[in-house]
Amino acid sequence: MSRLGAMVVRTPGASPAALSPPGRRRLGWWTGAAVRAGLATASLSRRLGLGAGSIIGGRVTLALDRQALRRLATGRRVVLVSGTNGKTTTSHLVAAAVRTAGPVAHNAGGSNMADGAVAALAEAQDADYAVLEVDELHLTAVAQAVDPAVVVLLNLTRDQLDRATEVGAIASALGRALAQHPRTVVVANADDPMVVSAATQAGHSVWVAAGASWLGDATTCPRCGRTLTFTDTGWECECGLARPTPDWWIDAGKACTADAVLPLDIRLPGQVNLSNATMALAAARALGVPADRAASALREVDVVAGRYAVVRRGSQDLRLLLAKNPAGWAGMASMLSQPRPLLVIINAREADGRDTSWLWDVAFEQFTCHHVVASGERAADLGVRLSYAGLNHQTVPDPLAALAALPPGEIDVVANYTAFHQFRRRLSRERTATR
Amino acid sequence: MSAPSSVTIGLLLPDVLGTYSDAGNATILAQRLRWRGIPAEIQTITARDAPPTGCEVYLLGGGEDTAQLFAADWLRRHSELRRAMETSAVTLAVCAGLQILGQSMTDTRGKHYAGLGLLDITTAPGRRRSVGEVISTCAIPGVGPLTGFENHRGITTLGPGTTALGRVVTGNGNGTTEAATRHRTEGVLTERVIGTYLHGPVLARNPALADHILERITGHPLPPLDLPDQSALRHTYL
């Protein structure tokens, strides 16, 4: 499997991904009308200040034509980016890399279900490439519709257990889906046993040693349930499932393959983003994009749908970060290494997962040197967790009021999904009001 | 029970039954002892370890289906641990951890698996998953209402002499009713085992239940603890 993947990497011109040539889309009059109706709705939604409009626009199009996603994707070379954490960031990196080869349709805002994909494709109908972030629970359906050239599978850990199913079940469903696309190149994380159990079902895999910051959900074999053996160089199970030999790896801050060493000159912080960038380069190369051009394009990405942005508010500089589950927090730990004050905002709405238990698998104990304020609609859940972690902290449910409890200067703000978007909206409304 | 000078909390198989963050229960018990001046240690016991039999408390959490069967098999292989759970220790078992302590479990294909047989309960799959907030009134005097988050598909039937941990006010719990009263039940309560479907973790949301377990071990009442945010947390859910 990995041998085949490596072959694909070394001869991009002959890769299966390159077989379907790009061409004009002929949507047909009905799909065309559905797309125009969706775009008009999106534009109206934006003008009314209701949001970016991509979800509602995509929904209108899909309601009028259930085949819209398939028709909009026809003739394009599509990369799907999926996994539990890092989808939005990695899709931005892949899009930057692929843009060196031509215009790209991209759901940059992170609307990662079928409606978001439809909206992104409708808004860039002339783009021959598409890079679509896809929720791992929707990958099967979206892949069915768009017949992707490349699928990037980053990691699979637990997230929103109340909405999703357990991780092992997701991995086996993804494996079955990938088996149905034998010409698709799957760029997969060799260090994540859940990802490997799914990606070994694919016709062509490119394995990336992307690391795993948190293996709390992968201590037992996703295939047989036995305990996995982890060593310095990999992992294996008695049943035969083992870490594949990587085609790509990171060495001294550079992305390496058998025939190339590429600088990872990125502006995004943290080890986890070096991994995301390497996955992006592997995806771009599988698509036939020259790797050196792709590598230098990664530097363009600095802010990803508001994440990593630094926002000045009064005497404070707020660095906005998003972490929504234990694996996300583990990947972010290296970014929070300086003892900067820390505002943590936690909600438990549908998109966050209603159950806050996951806070107990975040190693908050490591932040004893930080000045921490607990905030958000579930500030009390977080506050109790922080007390048991031995952190002296304050609890202020309203995030803007919480900022008043912190000193001037640089502050890290870490929020989960809906908390992050609420906070950004309130900051921007505040700025509009004072302008 | 003579009061131990230091308490050892055995966290069983967090590598296998760690899906729902129930390991937090170990941290909570240990900290509540330490804050009262009683030394406490958490022993993490993974599937590779030979389990110690001298712990005062054993904790089991929730996990996925294949992991659950592996855990049941592991527990059956360590009969000395079973004896300790039966005779000397107090065990808190959550969700899949509760199910594997029973007589048997049935999977969605109708296949039966033996449990540890420590509790007179049997579990079979329901028609759909029970996912959401639960409130129950706890059968232990003084503990009051219990709050937690359930996420399972098990229908657990209690044997004739077995008491439930609580009566369901909202949510599903065991999915079965008491024969005499028709009250819907949640969890199991015996002299040595407290079983529940509640995550949260359950002891984070219900400190009185944590202190009840600790008082069983230490053999004497513990002074109250005033933890910031605790009453706000209970107010969120109750």
- pLDDT of the residue at A1: 34
| Weakest mean pLDDT among A22-26, B157-161, B232-236 | A22-26
- pLDDT of the residue at A11: 34
pLDDT in tens, A224-248: 877 888 888 889 999 999 999 999 9
Give the residue ranges of DSSP H helices in A298-378: 326-332
Nearest-by-Cβ selection for A357 from B28, B65, B149:
B149
Contact between residue A190 and residue A207 where contact means Cβ atoms under 8 Å apart: yes
Residue A152 contacts B where some CB pair is shorter than 8 Å: no
* Mean pLDDT on A366-385: 96
Q: Which of A352, A360, A364, A392 to mutate to test the interface with B (most CBs of B within 10 A)?
A: A360
Residues A138, A246, single domain; the answer is yes
Q: How far is CA B100 from the centre of its chain?
A: 11
- With 80 as the cut, is the pLDDT of residue B97 above it? yes
Residues A318, A277, single domain; the answer is no
**Cβ contact (<8 Å) for B230 and A358?**
no
Residues A8, A96, single domain; the answer is yes
Q: Which domain holds residue A352?
A: 310-434
Smallest CA–CA separation between B184 and chain A, in Å? 22
- pLDDT of the residue at A158: 76
Confidence class for position B202, pLDDT limits 50, 70, 90: very high
**Cβ contact (<8 Å) for B204 and A217?**
no
- With 50 as the cut, is the pLDDT of residue A3 above it? no
- With 70 as the cut, is the pLDDT of residue A162 above it? no
Domain end, chosen from A267, A300, A333, is at A300
- pLDDT of the residue at B33: 98
- pLDDT of the residue at A166: 75
- With 90 as the cut, is the pLDDT of residue B218 above it? yes
| Average pLDDT over all residues of chain A | 88
As assigned by CATH, the class of the B7-237 domain is alpha beta
User: In this structure, is residue A153 part of a structural domain?
Assistant: yes
Smallest CA–CA separation between A185 and chain B, in Å? 30
Residues A115, A256, single domain; the answer is yes
**Cβ contact (<8 Å) for B69 and A378?**
no
Instruction: Give me the CATH number covering residue A331.
Output: 3.90.190.20
Confidence class for position A24, pLDDT limits 50, 70, 90: low
C-alpha distances out from residue A313 to A318, A344, A427, B44, B153, Å: 7, 17, 8, 45, 48
Confidence class for position A163, pLDDT limits 50, 70, 90: low
**Cβ contact (<8 Å) for B64 and A219?**
no
Q: How far is CA B202 from the centre of its chain?
A: 8
Domain tally, chain A: 2
Q: How far apart are CA A335 and CA A270, in angstroms?
A: 5
- With 50 as the cut, is the pLDDT of residue A333 above it? yes
pLDDT in tens, A252-280: 999 999 999 999 999 999 889 999 999 99
The pair of three-digit structure tokens given for residue A107, joined into one six-digit string: 């759901």
Residue A227 contacts B where some CB pair is shorter than 8 Å: yes
- With 90 as the cut, is the pLDDT of residue A168 above it? no
pLDDT in tens, B129-179: 999 999 999 999 999 999 999 999 999 999 999 999 999 999 999 999 988
- With 90 as the cut, is the pLDDT of residue A169 above it? no
- Fill in the amino acid letter for A15: S
pLDDT in tens, B13-64: 998 888 889 999 999 999 999 999 999 999 999 988 999 999 999 999 998 8
Return all residues near B109 (Cβ < 8 A) that are at least 6 apart. none
Residues A156, A110, single domain; the answer is yes
User: In this structure, is residue A384 part of a structural domain?
Assistant: yes
Nearest-by-Cβ selection for A168 from B22, B27, B66:
B66
Assess whether the previous peptide bond of A21 is cis (omega < 30° from 0): no
**Cβ contact (<8 Å) for B229 and A380?**
yes
Smallest CA–CA separation between B182 and chain A, in Å? 28
Nearest-by-Cβ selection for B151 from A161, A217, A385:
A161
Confidence class for position A217, pLDDT limits 50, 70, 90: low
Residues A417, A350, single domain; the answer is yes
- pLDDT of the residue at A2: 37
Nearest CA in chain A to B200: A357
Give the residue among B99, B65, B127 at the shortest CA–CA distance from B197: B99
Contact between residue B146 and residue B136 where contact means Cβ atoms under 8 Å apart: yes
H/E run at residue B94: strand B90-94
Residues A196, A328, single domain; the answer is no
Residues A375, A278, single domain; the answer is no
The pair of three-digit structure tokens given for residue A119, joined into one six-digit string: 């909206």
- pLDDT of the residue at A17: 44
Q: Work out the number of other CB atoms within 10 angstroms of the CB of residue A28.
A: 12
- pLDDT of the residue at A151: 98
- With 60 as the cut, is the pLDDT of residue A12 above it? no
Confidence class for position A62, pLDDT limits 50, 70, 90: confident
Q: How far apart are CA B228 and CA B126, in angstroms?
A: 39
To the nearest whole percent, how much of chain A has pLDDT over 90? 66
pLDDT in tens, A381-407: 999 999 999 999 999 999 999 999 999
Q: Which of B13, B19, B198 to mutate to test the interface with A (most CBs of A within 10 A)?
A: B19
Nearest CA in chain A to B33: A388
Confidence class for position A104, pLDDT limits 50, 70, 90: very high
Nearest CA in chain B to A215: B15
Torsion of CA B26, B23, A376, A55, to 10 degrees: -170
Give the residue ranges of DSSP H helices in A298-394: 326-332, 379-388
**Cβ contact (<8 Å) for B19 and A384?**
no
- With 80 as the cut, is the pLDDT of residue A139 above it? yes
Confidence class for position B67, pLDDT limits 50, 70, 90: confident
| Weakest mean pLDDT among A49-58, A357-366, B128-137 | A49-58
Nearest CA in chain B to A160: B20
Q: How far is CA B232 from the centre of its chain?
A: 24
- pLDDT of the residue at A44: 84
Q: In what order do the strands lie in the sheet with B40-45?
A: B40-45, B7-12, B57-60, B90-94, B193-196, B188-189
* Mean pLDDT on A34-50: 84
User: In this structure, is residue A41 part of a structural domain?
Assistant: no
**DSSP per-residue string spanning A96-159:** HHHTTTS-EEE-TT---SHHHHHHHHHHTTT-SEEEEE--TTTHHHHHHHH--SEEEE------
C-alpha distances out from residue A298 to A12, A172, A268, A275, Å: 20, 32, 9, 12
Residues A330, A423, single domain; the answer is yes
Q: How far apart are CA B176 and CA B174, in angstroms?
A: 5
Residues 163-182 on A with a CB inside 8 Å of B are 166-169
Cβ-count burial A345-365 (b if 16+ within 10 Å, e if not)? bbbbeeebbbbbbbbbbbebe
* Mean pLDDT on A283-309: 94
Confidence class for position A218, pLDDT limits 50, 70, 90: low
**Cβ contact (<8 Å) for B18 and A216?**
yes
B interface with A, Cβ–Cβ < 8 A, is 15-16, 18-24, 27-28, 31, 46-48, 64-67, 69-70, 131-133, 149, 151, 199-201, 204, 227-230, 232-233, 235-236
- With 80 as the cut, is the pLDDT of residue A215 above it? no
Residues A381, A248, single domain; the answer is no
H/E run at residue B112: strand B112-114
The pair of three-digit structure tokens given for residue A143, joined into one six-digit string: 């892949």
- With 60 as the cut, is the pLDDT of residue B1 above it? no
Residues A296, A327, single domain; the answer is no
ipTM of the complex, rounded to two decimals: 0.96
Residues A86, A132, single domain; the answer is yes
The pair of three-digit structure tokens given for residue B198, joined into one six-digit string: 């509640």
Q: Work out the number of other CB atoms within 10 angstroms of the CB of residue B123.
A: 25
pTM, two decimals, is 0.88
Q: How far apart are CA A397 and CA A420, in angstroms?
A: 14
Instruction: Give me the CATH number covering residue A11.
Output: 3.40.1190.10
pLDDT in tens, A405-416: 999 999 999 999
Nearest-by-Cβ selection for A357 from B27, B199, B232:
B199
- pLDDT of the residue at A295: 95
